[in-house]
Amino acid sequence: GAGVSQSPRYKVAKRGQDVALRCDPISGHVSLFWYQQALGQGPEFLTYFQNEAQLDKSGLPSDRFFAERPEGSVSTLKIQRTQQEDSAVYLCASSLGEWESSYEQYFGPGTRLTVT
Amino acid sequence: QKEVEQDPGPLSVPEGAIVSLNCTYSNSAFQYFMWYRQYSRKGPELLMYTYSSGNKEDGRFTAQVDKSSKYISLFIRDSQPSDSATYLCAMSEEYGNKLVFGAGTILRVKS
């Protein structure tokens, strides 16, 4: 079956531009997560949705980062006025249920963002 | 100091060797412990998870959790060149949702 898909796979933005990254989770998955992975590091949590509700956004590094999941399926991570330090791979993950089953997160291939 | 510490390697072993990968952590609230494998330019793939302390075996892979020492391990038996990847440990608090990852260990299995 189809896994988590992300688009675009690669994005080059000039400093100051806005970008939008898309995530299509596995069909029927309630929970959706965004992570940021810098080169040579493990993923770091950004934000979490349960259906359309954003339950945790404690990892968003600044108010330039915004995520939404308006219909409880597809999610978009938007970064305004991109800075060089935003260069990273942005990973989306989804999981089937809530709470106890949420540890089984399935990851997409990521979007590699390069800010020049 | 990071919540989860993991030696980045690289770890280079001959084909057929037993591989031991480890992480330490500081947050005693962690209850779920996972190992992910990540190939170059791919997303992490869940290998194993363990709830609380104990051992879990799945084919050539064995995961161990020692909560008293805040130490987790992944053992790979009869390692294959296809096992060459970055191995990430990850943890979460009970009823929490976010995963806290280690930096990942690069493993190279030479044929």
Smallest Cβ–Cβ distance between A31 and the set B44, B97, B101 belongs to B97
Amino acid B95: pLDDT: 53
Q: Give pLDDT tens digits for A53-97.
A: 999 999 999 999 999 999 999 999 999 999 999 999 999 999 887
Q: Are B107 and B13 in contact (CB under 8 A)?
A: yes
Please provide the DSSP assignment of A61-87 as one string. Answer: -STTEEEE-TTSS-EEEEESS--GGG-
Beta bridge partners of B58: B61
In this predicted structure, the answer to whether residue B59 has a pLDDT above a threshold of 80 is yes
Query: Which residues of chain B make contact with A110, given a CB cutoff of 8 A?
Result: 41-43
In this predicted structure, the answer to whether residue B39 has a pLDDT above a threshold of 80 is yes
Amino acid B86: pLDDT: 98
Amino acid B49: pLDDT: 87
Mean pLDDT calculated for residue range B22-27:
97
CB atoms within 10 A of CB A27: 9
3-state DSSP assignment of residue B82: helix
Amino acid A100: pLDDT: 57
**Which residues make Cβ contacts (< 8 Å) with residue A62, sequence separation at least 6?**
none
- Best mutation target, B37, B48, B98, to test chain A (most A CBs within 10 A): B98
Please give the mean pLDDT across all residues of chain B. 93
3-state DSSP assignment of residue B2: coil
If you search the block for the tokens 């302390």, which residue do you land on?
Answer: B53
Smallest Cβ–Cβ distance between A45 and the set B6, B8, B98 belongs to B98
Cβ under 8 Å to A: B residues 6-65 = 6, 8, 32, 34, 36, 41-46, 49
Q: Give pLDDT tens digits for B67-79.
A: 999 999 999 999 9
Amino acid B93: pLDDT: 86
Query: Which residues of chain B make contact with A40, given a CB cutoff of 8 A?
Result: 8, 103-104
In this predicted structure, the answer to whether residue B2 has a pLDDT above a threshold of 90 is no
- Check CB contact under 8 Å for A31 and B101: no
Dihedral angle of Cα B26, B28, B29, B34, to the nearest 10 degrees: 60
